[in-house]
Structure 1
Amino acid sequence: MALPDMVNHLDYLLCVHTNEEKLIKNALPGVHLYPLVLDVENGLWVLRVLFEPGVTLPKHFHTGTVHLYTMSGCWHYVEYPDDKQVAGSYLFEPGGSIHTFHVPETNDGLTDTFMVVNGANINFDEDGNFVNIMDAGWIEQVALAAAKEQGIEPKYIKPQSSYDFTKK
């Protein structure tokens, strides 16, 4: 069997070296990130996110799956306070999950995570009222606005679609 012809030839690797990129600070208060892939059309967001101690994100409902790997620090869901996620922890979340992300105030330093999210987070306030929808497009807008304020031009992978009819 012969190797297939390459469908998408690349002259370079699609690689983001976070050790060479500038961290976008306070995309949300206490939330710093490196966008890696923001695919608005397919609802995929891949991020390296660093959280400050004491950060609590809004309670949210996931429309798709999440893969979250903790590289350093510690965090947990408010709903599962005894199930701490620490360095080396991998968490899979099925679509339909509802929870509240929290980094303990007692953490010494930043909590460093890598996440692959399909779909959106539907965010709610403490009383269960709808706040907003966080998806790849929203993340991109927030990250770019914070980066612009900081004089950063982030490098990330952004699939570029060119929708058209197969026959005109």
Structure 2
Amino acid sequence: MSDTAHEVNYQVDDLVVPGGLDLDGTDERLWVPQADGVVFRPLIFSVSQGYFVNILRVRRTGTVSRHRHTGPVHAFTLRGRWHYPEHDWWAEEGTYSFEPPGDVHTLVVPEDVTEMAALFHATGSYLYVDEKGGPTGVEDVFTKLEKARNHYERVGLGASYVEQFIR
């Protein structure tokens, strides 16, 4: 047998999401409910490397979540603004922000914002915590994937619709 008979291709296929940053013209079924007034649109679930990229859209004000990241997070604010009261910076439309792992912070959308949308690239997990730092939940590429799969089945796109985002 030749050496080529044992070769395995580990290269991941390209992924292109047409209209991936379109916030207004999309089928609402593409947005996966996460909490009251909070939805996300997946762009990629990298199950082999433990990260996901999605657009988080928030249509309510106040605290969205208090959490800690186990890995780095990159964010691009596409609409509105948000902040972490634990820090002195604001993420406004057009802002890029980097969040190192380990810090506990509280995502807040201010009263004067009707919609906030941000693209998040998150590696590892989000550990949701209460006011005292106690764990209340966890989210990672696998829980986000399952939430999307269930949602797409429920809204008639079919559970397999999510497969296009898995790499």
Bin of the TM-score, shorter chain as denominator length: 0.7 to 0.9
Runs (5+) with no aligned partner, structure 2: 1-8
**2:56 paired with 1:53:** no
**Shift of the alpha carbon at 1:147?**
3.2
Task: Give the conservation status (yes or no) of the 8 Å contact 1:74–1:87.
Answer: yes
**What SS does the corresponding residue of 1:100 show, helix, strand or coil?**
strand
**Distance change in 2, residues 1:40/1:15 (3 Å):** same
The aligned amino acid for 1:54 is T
Correspondence for 1:37: 44
Runs (5+) with no aligned partner, structure 1: 1-5, 160-168
**Shift of the alpha carbon at 1:30?**
1.3
The aligned amino acid for 2:166 is K
- What is the root-mean-square deviation of aligned Cα atoms in Å? 2.4
TM-score by length of 1: 0.77
Correspondence for 1:157: 165
**Distance change in 2, residues 1:144/1:27 (3 Å):** farther
**What SS does the corresponding residue of 2:82 show, helix, strand or coil?**
strand
Counterpart Cα distance in 1 of 2:10 and 2:146:
31
Give the total of aligned pairs: 150
Task: Give the conservation status (yes or no) of the 8 Å contact 2:76–2:120.
Answer: yes
Q: How does 1:2-151 map to 2 (within 5 A)?
A: 8=11, 14-17=15-18, 18=20, 19=22, 22-80=29-87, 82-107=88-113, 109-151=114-156
Higher RCO by CA contacts (8 Å cutoff, separation 6 or greater): 1
TM-score by length of 2: 0.77
Task: Give the conservation status (yes or no) of the 8 Å contact 1:124–1:130.
Answer: yes
Counterpart Cα distance in 2 of 1:38 and 1:25:
14
The aligned amino acid for 1:95 is P
Task: Give the conservation status (yes or no) of the 8 Å contact 2:76–2:119.
Answer: yes
Task: Give the conservation status (yes or no) of the 8 Å contact 2:64–2:109.
Answer: no
**What SS does the corresponding residue of 1:114 show, helix, strand or coil?**
strand
Give the percent of matched residue pairs that are identical in Structure 1 and Structure 2. 28
More helix by share: 2
Task: Give the conservation status (yes or no) of the 8 Å contact 1:24–1:152.
Answer: no
